[in-house]
Amino acid sequence: MSPLTVLVLLIKAVSFAVLGCIAYLVINPVNRWKYRHIPGPCYRAIFGNLPEFRKYGSHEFMVACRAKYGPVFKLWFGHRVWVVVCDPDLGKRVNYKCLNRPQIGDALIRGPVTRPENKGLFFTRDDVWRMVHRVWQPAFYADSVHACAPLMSDTSRRLVTRLQGLAGEGRPVDLWREVGNLTMAIVGTAAYGIDFHTFDADSATQQQPAASSTSVKLPLAAAVAAAAAAGAPSKAAQAAAAASHLPRSMHSGLAAAHVDVGQRAVGAQLVSSAQTLFASMGGTSGSIYQMAALLLPDSCRPLVAWAAHTFPDARFTAVMNARATVSSASMQLVQQFKQRQQQQEDASASGDAGLGGNAAPGGSGRVSRSGGAIAPGSFLGLLLAARGGTDGHGLSDLQMIMQANTFTLAGYETTANALAFSLWCISTHPEAEARLLQEAAAAAQPFHAYSRDMEQQFPYTCAVVSEALRLYPPGATTIREVPPAGRPLQLGGYAVAPGSSVFVASYVMQRDPELWPRAGEFLPERWLPGNEHLAAKNAAAYLPFGSGARMCIGYRFALQEVRLGLLELLSQFHFEVQWELMVPPPPQPHQQQQQQQGVEGGAEAGDKQQQQQQQRGSRALRTANGFTLSPVGGIWVKLEPRVPEVQPAV
Ligand code: HEM
């Protein structure tokens, strides 16, 4: 056969494969047949419902679908199907019956981190999950969490000091960003006993958004440049990587994004990396390669991954840099921790009591347990002390790094969003603010002294947080996979096939007017005794932390952090929302339907809200489509320091 004939044949084969692929995606026969019995919007070739997700936001679109198709429906994520559940009892059934989550978000990642035993707790499965979950648990026992309370309050007061400085300058401040610095700082001290310097590093990079911008502002370029400048070919990073027996494939990436956990810039780098990673997981705002991996059949993924790594675009580079930055920080934390522990062991063997462990505020470095609880700063010690790893000899370095990555990311993002949403709700409801301040002013001791009985001492503050988590749940859906080897899962009369991805739509249920009286209103009172008429008609309709075995392991930690942060910040400042800087909300597909249905309190509440919004310049809070629910473009406020009489007792 002549070379020309081979070439022609090759071109024909490739054209045939491409056309076949397009025809398959346009018709999508397998999934359309497999899920034909479940209601939902029609399949639209190749993109499915992604255009609607972009236009309305995925959660708002789900609200509209719930109204149209009932409590169980399907959505098209490209050619893939999500089964969405919006009924409390069915949601509970899903969360309790299915243990694993589908492996989303790592289609383009290569190397050993994709192996099941090397996942962080969130994405581990089956027996590996059981083992890793057991290792994590003591960090979140009630006593461990209470031990972190003074640290959480102290760190909140460091933010207060920073905000006092900014208030003097008189310019608007992005509260979301500021509380992000706070939660990352608390991760550093509470988990690792390290000061990440989040309050020092980024004051110069605070930017004001254009009012019309819909993208989240990230100081990414600065962070990446700083990371590269800090250690591109850093010998320290390479030595650390080599010493930790990490797979070679991780070395170059980590060295390129080397950060120094002892340096001032690390906090800002971690915060911006975490923001990049969460924003990229939304599915509709990633790089072209992420979009291609999402839209093309699974069999094309290796090819897409190869192309992404060989010819990366700017967004893919940003995501890979962000992953490497977080992993580099975790790797150093692990290495430093091991070195310190070795020094302590050597010192105690030689009778020298002078080495005091971590230089952490409150951190001991060792896993000092009392009654099962661990001291602040000892999360790594917990991981290191773990026995019963997959090889029977504890967690490997890579497994430890992946757990540290998970703690850093999960501990930062959702809690920052929860605190930002709580502050937003309070700042737009003066009557609630007054009541919370009254409660704060009545405290006879520092707020953290009440960490064991926050609900008795600060019932209204706790109610504010619960209500903010109802309206704005940072984890807006829980995700499960129907066991691939089992039988179909019966959900409200529909058999959902093994291996399907099921989303329990917390956001939709927590705003459902059939489940909550005056669902659209911010009413902290509904969480107080005597207001049962405002409570949920089904307790399972409230799941900001999920439910079942895979519910949020950090919920106690997060609630304590948000409640203390709220008290510390609000007792010092009133936050005046700068409406002209806020990103306007998109059109709401369900508003018209809700009004037509005349749901209980809906019309009245709708009118009232509309009036209030008009008074405030017709702006509501726009939330992002990402992996978590977050405010788009931040929450812009002017800081108004309070008069002294409402300051907390010290
Ligand atoms: C207000 C803050 C937080 C919210 C709203 C939140 C929400 C959630 C939700 C909805 C889930 C999924 C639950 C499910 O699928 O049933 C989850 C899981 C998880 N969360 Fe949180 N979370 C918060 C704070 C934290 C913190 C501070 C940590 C600590 C590091 C953390 C670590 C995790 C982990 C590791 C998982 C996976 C647990 C597992 O699969 O076993 N979260 N969280």
Lowest-pLDDT range, 42-46, 180-184, 368-372?
A: 368-372
Q: Which residue has the higher pLDDT, 614 or 386?
A: 386
The pLDDT of residue 542: 98
For the CA of 475, the closest atom of ligand 1 is 10
Three-state SS sequence of 95-110: HHHCCCCCCCCCCCCC
Mean pLDDT, rounded, of the chain: 82
The pLDDT of residue 187: 94
91 lines ligand 1 (CB under 6 A): no
Q: Over pLDDT 90: what percentage of the chain? A: 52
Strand partners, 143: none
Give the integer Cα–Cα distance in Å for 40 and 62: 10
Residue 233 has pLDDT above 70, yes or no: no
Q: What is the DSSP letter of 631?
A: B
For the CA of 546, the closest atom of ligand 1 is 16
Most confident listed range (229-233, 365-369, 515-519): 515-519
Give the integer Cα–Cα distance in Å for 588 and 52: 11
Give the residue, by CA position, lying nearest to ligand 1 atom 9: 545
Residue 430 has pLDDT above 60, yes or no: yes
Q: How confident is the model at residue 19 (pLDDT cuts 50, 70, 90)?
A: confident
Q: How far is the CA of 555 from the centre of ligand 1 (A)?
A: 7
Q: How confident is the model at residue 167 (pLDDT cuts 50, 70, 90)?
A: very high
Q: How far is the CA of 109 from the centre of ligand 1 (A)?
A: 23
For the CA of 133, the closest atom of ligand 1 is 41
Give the integer Cα–Cα distance in Å for 333 and 282: 29
Pairing of strands 478-481, 494-496: unpaired
The pLDDT of residue 368: 57
Q: How far is CA 102 from CA 105, 305, 452, 500, in A?
A: 10, 19, 36, 8
Give the residue, by CA position, lying nearest to ligand 1 atom 43: 552
Q: Over pLDDT 70: what percentage of the chain? A: 78
Mean pLDDT of 491-497: 96
Length, in residues, of the chain: 650
For the CA of 191, the closest atom of ligand 1 is 30
Residue 229 has pLDDT above 80, yes or no: no
Residue 173 has pLDDT above 80, yes or no: yes
- Residues sharing a CB contact under 8 Å with residue 87, sequence separation 6 or more, in sequence order: 71, 72, 492, 509
Q: Which residue has the higher pLDDT, 451 or 213?
A: 451
SS3 47: coil
Q: Which residue has the higher pLDDT, 106 or 254?
A: 106
The pLDDT of residue 287: 85
Q: What is the DSSP letter of 139?
A: G
**Which stretches of 57-148 are DSSP H helices?**
58-69, 88-97, 126-136, 142-147
Q: Which helix (H) or strand (E) holds 575?
A: strand 573-577
The pLDDT of residue 392: 56
Q: Which residue has the higher pLDDT, 591 or 373?
A: 373
Mean pLDDT of 488-500: 96
The pLDDT of residue 2: 87
Give, for ligand 1, the residue of 545, 559, 562 to mutate: max count of ligand atoms closer than 8 Å to Cβ: 545
For the CA of 562, the closest atom of ligand 1 is 1
User: Which residue type, as a one-letter code, is found at position 292?
Assistant: A
- Residues sharing a CB contact under 8 Å with residue 525, sequence separation 6 or more, in sequence order: 463, 531, 534
Half-sphere exposure of 202 (CA within 13 A, CB side): 32
φ, ψ for residue 270, nearest 5 deg: -65, -40
- Closest to 444 (Cα-Cα) out of 649, 148, 175, 209: 649
133 lines ligand 1 (CB under 6 A): yes
Mean pLDDT of 498-526: 97
Residue 358 has pLDDT above 60, yes or no: no
Q: Encode burial over 332-343: b for 16+ CB neighbours within 10 A, e otherwise.
A: bbbbbbbebbee
Give the integer Cα–Cα distance in Å for 73 and 477: 14
Q: How confident is the model at residue 445 (pLDDT cuts 50, 70, 90)?
A: very high
ipTM > 0.90 for the complex: yes
Q: What domains can you pick out in the chain, each with its CATH number? A: 122-200+210-349+366-646 (1.10.630.10)
Strand partners, 573: 641
Lowest-pLDDT range, 67-81, 499-513, 545-559, 624-638?
A: 624-638
In tens, the pLDDT along 296-344 reads: 888 888 899 999 999 999 989 998 999 999 998 898 888 888 888 888 8
Torsion of CA 293, 295, 299, 303, to 10 degrees: -40
**Degrees, nearest 5: CA angle 551-100-279:** 70
Mean pLDDT of 99-115: 84
The pLDDT of residue 649: 56
Lowest-pLDDT range, 51-55, 239-243, 398-402, 553-557?
A: 239-243
Give the residue, by CA position, lying nearest to ligand 1 atom 19: 552
Q: How far is the CA of 100 from the centre of ligand 1 (A)?
A: 14
Q: How far is the CA of 407 from the centre of ligand 1 (A)?
A: 10
Lowest-pLDDT range, 409-413, 421-425, 515-519?
A: 409-413
Give the residue, by CA position, lying nearest to ligand 1 atom 20: 552
Could you tell me the maximum CA-CA distance found in the chain, to the nearest angstrom? 93
Residue 457 has pLDDT above 80, yes or no: yes
User: Which residue type, as a one-letter code, is found at position 406?
Assistant: T
For the CA of 561, the closest atom of ligand 1 is 27
The pLDDT of residue 648: 57
